[in-house]
Amino acid sequence: MTRPSRQHADRRKSPVMGKRILVTGGAGFLGSHLCEKLLARGHEVICLDNFYTGRKKNIVHLLDNPYFELMRHDVTFPLYVEVEEIYNLACPASPIHYQFDPVQTTKTSVHGAINMLGLAKRTKAKIFQASTSEVYGDPEIHPQPEEYRGAVNPIGPRACYDEGKRCAETLFFDYYRQHKVNIRVARIFNTFGPRMLPNDGRVVSNFIVQALTGQDITIYGDGKQTRSFCYVDDLIDGIIALMDAPDTVTGPINLGNPTEFTMLELAQKIIELTDTKSKLVFRPLPQDDPMQRQPDISKAKEILRWQPTVQLEEGLKKTIAYFDKELSKATP
């Protein structure tokens, strides 16, 4: 059990910096970019991660910053620190990783939410929950507005993540109503960019790694299913905009890029940008894989004055360059 350090107990805010902020899952893909952004904005950041999918190399360049603190901890256990804001991003987010230990995935979403909400209640901290477009399941409404309640299979192989995040949203709004905790909930749609894991099973990283290594590109189903891809820099700006919004803005609010692409279109674009000879191979569609996914971001535009600015091709070029560099390091 992690106890408060003397440093944390003696003061809540750095005398020369902004707020003291906790980022759970801070060494992960999104978390590491968020930690960077918050430090750049003048805040003191506690990065918490159990390194199940997070990687120290994602935040190693931040370790010398005196206003950055790394803490190895699992959110399924209570945490005692003094903070003013909490960004709860802790949870494996790709099917390969969250299905590897589905019980732990559910515990991370549910117990993690309870522990972080309890911390927020005690410290009177504002708290953000990284929810997901997966709460909509295989949607019957397109695009998906926040009012849509979803079509989720509660006993399928993806349910550990889908229902875990739905339960976390329930807990956030119950703490808001019952304990007056200051909450923010964002439903994050497909996001991509540097620091994605090469083996996470997500379509962008899969396609890029296969193309760069000369493998055939694997498409599940007929490739006509759609996704909307948001570059990580845009997404982080949206998360911070939601956290900075007035306290009357709780969410849930969709954050994602509303421009929709089929898997075939994505594969063809990556083949073009990598100049690969890779061919397309087709495999059966996994159970409960959504056929369509596109956010209605009307609320984000109106309330947060936020919308993505990075186009797919621009974001893919940066992501391809990142993976190309990483793969070259791994080659003897």
Q: What is the DSSP letter of 157?
A: T
- What is the residue type of 4? P
DSSP 8-state assignment for residue 70: E
Residues in contact with 92: Cβ distance below 8 Å, sequence separation at least 6, in sequence order: 52, 53, 98, 100, 105, 108, 161
% helix / strand / coil in the chain, to the nearest 5? 40, 20, 40
Quote the CA–CA distance of 8 and 4 in Å, as a whole number.
6
List, in sequence order, every beta strand (DSSP E) within the chain: 20-24, 44-49, 68-72, 85-88, 126-132, 183-188, 191-192, 217-220, 226-228, 230-231, 253-255, 260-262, 280-283
Fill in the DSSP letter of residue 285: P
Q: Which of 52, 87, 136, 161 is catalytic?
A: 161
Nearest to 89 by CA among 159, 31, 168: 31
Annotation marks residue 67 as catalytic:
no
CA geometry: angle at 229 spanning 189 and 138, to 5°?
Answer: 50
Give catalytic residue positions: 161
